[in-house]
Amino acid sequence: MDFFADTAVIDDIRELNGYGLLDGVTTNPSLIAKSGGDFLDTIREIAQIVPGPISAEVAATDYAGMMAEAQVLSAIAENVVIKVPLTLDGLKACRALRAAGTQVNVTLCFSINQALLAAKAGATYVSPFIGRLDDINLDGMELIHAIRALYDGQGFDTQILAASIRNPNHVSDAALAGADVATMPPDVIRALVKHPLTDKGLAAFIADWKQTGQKIIK
């Protein structure tokens, strides 16, 4: 499963990419507004740091507007993926962009029918929002399982990009459910490595090593 960072904070992206943990990045106008950066400049900088797919979301909600904005965003870098909402206009834009060879991430997916429409429109990625479904007492992970079964059964190539991930359990559950990608905040990526027994074991190793009085580099 690929790991995408769901952020527009450049320092976080540089750090995680430096660990070799990032396969891509997802952004949206809200994330970039929180970061305080210029939208286009931020996308350009992210695309220069991470060579993988960089999802940049359109702000328009009508087909013509989406297509016009997609043209501007696509020109920033070859690895920019256009993110469109799962609406009729968004699906129409997805079909047109895919026909032109542009990768598309169809976002805000909350049902199996929506996932089916995204795949039929040729989406490169579909983004089901796990956490937001959990927030209203629905099982977000159940949707990942259902989409996986649908796509495998129907032979769709659209990748499942698990989004709205809130914690490490969401990551492992999404991987086991068959998600192709998980996009998550930087703090969740950092938390994946944490385990109390790892910390305890490392502390014991360090203590034992100090007692030997030896050095590896002399």
The first and second tokens of residue 103, run together, are 């990768």
Residues with a catalytic annotation lie at 83
d(CA 176, CA 172): 6
Task: Taking residues 38-49, report their average pLDDT.
Answer: 95
Q: Is the pLDDT of residue 36 over 90?
A: no
Strand partners, 161: 181
Give helix 140-154 / helix 112-120 axis angle, nearest 10°: 40
- The confidence score (pLDDT) of residue 33 equals 85
Q: In which band, very low, low, confident or very high, does the pLDDT at 32 lie, cut at 50, 70 and 90?
A: confident
pLDDT tens, position by position, 168-210: 999 999 999 999 999 999 999 999 999 999 999 999 999 999 9
Task: Taking residues 150-173, report their average pLDDT.
Answer: 98
DSSP state of 34: H
- The confidence score (pLDDT) of residue 127 equals 98
- The confidence score (pLDDT) of residue 112 equals 98
The single residue listed with the structure tokens 């590896």 is 216
pLDDT tens, position by position, 113-135: 999 999 999 999 999 999 999 99
Task: Taking residues 27-45, report their average pLDDT.
Answer: 89
d(CA 46, CA 17): 10
- The confidence score (pLDDT) of residue 6 equals 97
Q: Is the pLDDT of residue 37 over 90?
A: no
Task: List C-alpha distances in Å: 30 to 39, 56, 129, 211.
Answer: 10, 11, 16, 52
Total Cβ atoms within 10 A of residue 20: 7
- The confidence score (pLDDT) of residue 35 equals 84
% of the chain surpassing 70 pLDDT: 100
Domains of the chain: 2-212 (3.20.20.70)
State the average pLDDT for the chain.
96
Q: Is the pLDDT of residue 148 over 90?
A: yes
The first and second tokens of residue 6, run together, are 């769901």
Q: Is the pLDDT of residue 34 over 90?
A: no
- How much is the pTM? 0.94
Give helix 88-99 / helix 63-74 axis angle, nearest 10°: 40
